[in-house]
Structure 1
């Protein structure tokens, strides 16, 4: 078996980590700026971080009840759905913001010397902060509806979050660079994300996928990530460890590829902006 390229190995990434750490003040400034920009012109500002998921839970609860869209065989269908959508939104926000992470900072890229990887990294970390603030609201909702269940799978929660973080960062690195070379990337991603949403177990369980397609579906890292969150919060989905393990491998591979491509592309950013 051939070994991975040297620029994708962890040892080769150590200098990059050191470089990012050297510019950590700039990184946190950009993270704070990205958080503030999202709610800059709204009256309630940062409160929308908490209000958005609350309104979403209320709306889904009302309309699913009116339309009688609950899965009669699954007493916690609503809770699974809300969990899946909140997890999906973290990915969707990261990929959406990544498209303009470099393109929207043209002046900074042209006039300042710093690790360019900080730009997409700051957008992902800003969305991570938002996601971590939303999780307590999700837990309160699950607890209030009697669906919250701490089990053995709950131990996997930090690993699940890191897995999704690796996937989001890897994709953000790829998309932030790709959008400079191919400006239609933003429009294509709308269709890609829509298809990815329905190919991921957001509105259904992984177990609902026909058995003959399950091995193929497991190559979708969001299958293991969503299933893992549900297992951690609801005590469901017994095959979560296996799914999360495969998602972990795929997500870190995406991150390694993202770092390698971004490092190669960044030398031409000044010419493309």
Structure 2
């Protein structure tokens, strides 16, 4: 394949390789490391340079999520898939669960597949006690990875997160406008970055540690946290997840 030299130079610069290497990849020549080849393919796709014989649009994007019994994660997956489909990109859904395939196992399998990228929702980087080594291998193989609501300085990836601080502030403002002064916060384990961010925002708003209950991001965890906070005199509770909110409602209803 022949493309004009300025265009080839743009591709080489974008992929951070030499013009000679970019040319070898474009023309499907041997002698290029797989990671480098994938990097050039990714840059070509982003720059709109088509490579004959390489159907990059047919290479799927993996969507990795936690368990799908949490209604938030199917919603994420559905919206991501819709956006990918609008750009002629097929997807592979990889849900992790305590009794099924783990996130790390999914990533290991993806290393053996020809994917064009991966999007991880609330993945392992959100857990400060979890190893990100599987993702390092995936990224080092040349696969671009985007993380949503997680972060690790050890990964050369793209990260997007909702603002836990703004969410907590908005919740406090709303509950305060309803007349509540004794407000509690129910969150999952502090090992998770979203929990840390929510707790920090809550403390910065002037609330004491006694008004925070940490359990886990489940219905049962929300119910346990709510029982503790209600018993301590709290009249309103900010929940760290939808599942915890369902548990808090269950606890409140049980107490009348």
TM-score range, shorter chain: under 0.3
Q: Which has the larger radius of gyration?
A: 2
Which structure has greater strand proportion? 2
| Higher percent of residues as helix | 1
